[in-house]
């Protein structure tokens, strides 16, 4: 029995010695492996100072600055028309005229009646100066002149109602009117839209209320013309916040000199709130793990992990609100394979840094 205990005790001593020896040698082995691991090749850039834009995006619908449905006010047969769909017309241009011969005849009668009434009044006033006629007769003739003037104005209005003129410069819409067609009163003949500038209605989240003001720049884009950007400015602010969406309705005027945009069209808008100078880096340098956003910087041939706080973004570029300085050298390639403390070798590769704002000229 005592012999067995001695054997067991010997085995325990040997096992303990082996564990102690492994623990003593492991750090040295790890350090040797770290020293033997080749340095990772990376590209670095220096942060740059540039103007960044704070903006808010929204979507809305376009409508013409001025738009109207052209309708007839009287009945009649079409005797003249200028309703070519898609054509531009000037303010006051004749678009359609109905047969107005009877109305013009009535106008001539009213003109003759007024002329006769004025002659009678003038003769009565001369007679009154000689006391050859009473004042009441003069007053009655004066009233007759007023009535004749009103009848003339009414007759002129009936003539004018046979004409449809453009109330503003714009583009004529589709119509189904033909020469010689008989139209009833109230018939819609076409639409007219002023499209040189388009009105874009959209909504801004309530949290931006303190940053918006009239005249701010608006840039719009639409799937119909993906390569184009349409410029405009904010022209109207709503007076009430929508209680359900917590947004403020606003309107912008979008330039449309080439006539590409049409009323009713969908448009995405980007409202510029302000522009300022800030520190920027390529977006490809940013790493995200959980709730932490970080980059790697090159420091004496070693990668160092640095937490950063980001701000505004634009395609390929991101603002760094805190965490970096202009003197830092930010790793932009190979950082997904790095850990803090890894050895790195900075190499030159301009293809990896397409934006010349970030070219790093310092020696590695």
**108 with 183, same domain?**
yes
- Is 4 a domain residue? no
CA-to-CA distance for 267 and 339, rounded, in angstroms?
45
DSSP-assigned letters across all residues of 303-341: EEEEE-EEEEEETTEEEEEES--TT--EE-SSGGG--TT
Radius of gyration over every alpha carbon of the chain, rounded to an integer in angstroms:
42
Task: Give the range of the structural domain holding residue 75, as residue numbers without chain letter.
Answer: 68-188
- Is 28 a domain residue? no
**76 with 161, same domain?**
yes
CA-to-CA distance for 284 and 21, rounded, in angstroms?
46
CA-to-CA distance for 97 and 125, rounded, in angstroms?
43
* Structure confidence at residue 159 (pLDDT): 93
Burial of 350 (0-12, 13-18, 19+ CB in 10 A): exposed
**112 with 179, same domain?**
yes
* Structure confidence at residue 363 (pLDDT): 47
CA-to-CA distance for 98 and 144, rounded, in angstroms?
32
Last residue of one domain, picked from the residues 188, 219, 244: 188
Q: Are 192 and 125 in contact (CB under 8 A)?
A: no
Last residue of one domain, picked from the residues 188, 220, 249: 188
Q: Which two tokens stand for residue 141?
A: 């003739």
- Is 231 a domain residue? yes
Q: Which two tokens stand for residue 297?
A: 């910087």
How many domains does the structure of the chain reveal?
3
CA-to-CA distance for 254 and 217, rounded, in angstroms?
10
* Structure confidence at residue 170 (pLDDT): 92
**180 with 83, same domain?**
yes
CA-to-CA distance for 273 and 239, rounded, in angstroms?
19
Q: Which two tokens stand for residue 32?
A: 């040797």
Q: Quick one: CA torsion of 341, 347, 349, 353, rounded to 10 degrees?
A: 30
**205 with 250, same domain?**
yes
Q: What is the mean pLDDT, run by run of 10 residues, along the chain of 364 residues?
A: 52 53 49 62 88 88 93 94 91 94 94 92 84 83 92 94 94 91 93 93 92 92 92 94 94 92 93 88 90 91 91 85 90 87 82 60 47
**342 with 262, same domain?**
no
**166 with 132, same domain?**
yes
- Is 310 a domain residue? yes
Question: Residue 356 — φ and ψ, nearest 5°?
Answer: -70, -5
* Structure confidence at residue 218 (pLDDT): 94
* CA distances (Å), origin 229, targets 200, 255, 308, 321, 325: 14, 10, 33, 29, 34
- Is 32 a domain residue? no
Q: Which residue's entry shows tokens 């102690």?
A: 20
CA-to-CA distance for 60 and 251, rounded, in angstroms?
9
Neighbour count for residue 288 (Cβ, 10 Å): 9
* Structure confidence at residue 230 (pLDDT): 95
* Structure confidence at residue 168 (pLDDT): 93
* CA distances (Å), origin 133, targets 99, 116, 126, 230: 46, 18, 9, 76
* Structure confidence at residue 10 (pLDDT): 56
- Is 321 a domain residue? yes
Query: 299: number of CA atoms within 13 Å, CB side?
Result: 12
Q: Are 157 and 149 in contact (CB under 8 A)?
A: no
Give this prediction's pTM.
0.63
């Amino acid at each position: 029995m005592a012999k067995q205990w001695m054997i067991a005790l010997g085995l325990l001593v040997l096992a303990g010695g082996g564990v102690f020896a492994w623990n003593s040698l492991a750090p040295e082995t790890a350090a040797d492996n770290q020293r033997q691991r080749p340095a990772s090749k990376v590209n670095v850039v220096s942060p740059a100072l540039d103007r960044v834009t704070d903006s808010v995006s929204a979507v809305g619908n376009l409508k013409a600055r001025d738009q109207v449905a052209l309708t007839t006010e009287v009945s009649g047969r079409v005797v003249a028309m200028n309703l070519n769909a898609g054509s531009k017309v000037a303010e006051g241009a004749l678009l359609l005229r109905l047969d107005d011969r009877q109305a013009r005849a009535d106008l001539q009668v009213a003109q003759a009646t007024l002329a006769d009434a004025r002659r009678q009044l003038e003769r009565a006033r001369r007679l009154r100066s000689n006391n050859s006629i009473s004042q009441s007769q003069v007053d009655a003739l004066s009233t007759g002149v007023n009535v004749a003037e009103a009848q003339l104005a009414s007759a002129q209005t009936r003539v004018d109602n046979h004409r449809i003129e453009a109330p503003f410069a714009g583009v004529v819409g589709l119509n189904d009117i033909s020469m010689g067609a008989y139209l009833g009163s109230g018939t819609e003949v076409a639409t007219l839209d002023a499209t040189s500038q388009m009105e874009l209605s959209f909504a801004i989240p309530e949290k931006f209320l303190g940053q918006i003001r009239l005249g701010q720049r608006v840039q719009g884009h639409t799937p119909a013309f993906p390569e184009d950007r349409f410029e405009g400015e904010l022209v109207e602010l709503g007076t009430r916040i929508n209680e359900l969406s917590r947004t403020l309705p606003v309107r912008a005027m979008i330039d449309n000199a080439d006539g590409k945009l049409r009323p009713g069209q969908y448009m995405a808008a980007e409202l510029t709130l302000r522009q300022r100078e800030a520190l920027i880096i390529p977006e490809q340098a940013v790493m995200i793990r959980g709730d932490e956003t970080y980059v790697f910087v090159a420091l004496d041939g070693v990668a160092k992990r640095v937490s950063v706080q980001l701000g505004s973004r634009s395609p390929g570029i991101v603002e760094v609100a805190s965490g970096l300085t202009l003197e830092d050298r930010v790793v932009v390639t190979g950082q997904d394979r790095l850990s803090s403390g890894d050895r790195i070798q900075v190499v030159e590769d301009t293809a990896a840094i397409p934006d010349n704002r970030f070219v790093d000229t310092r020696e590695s």
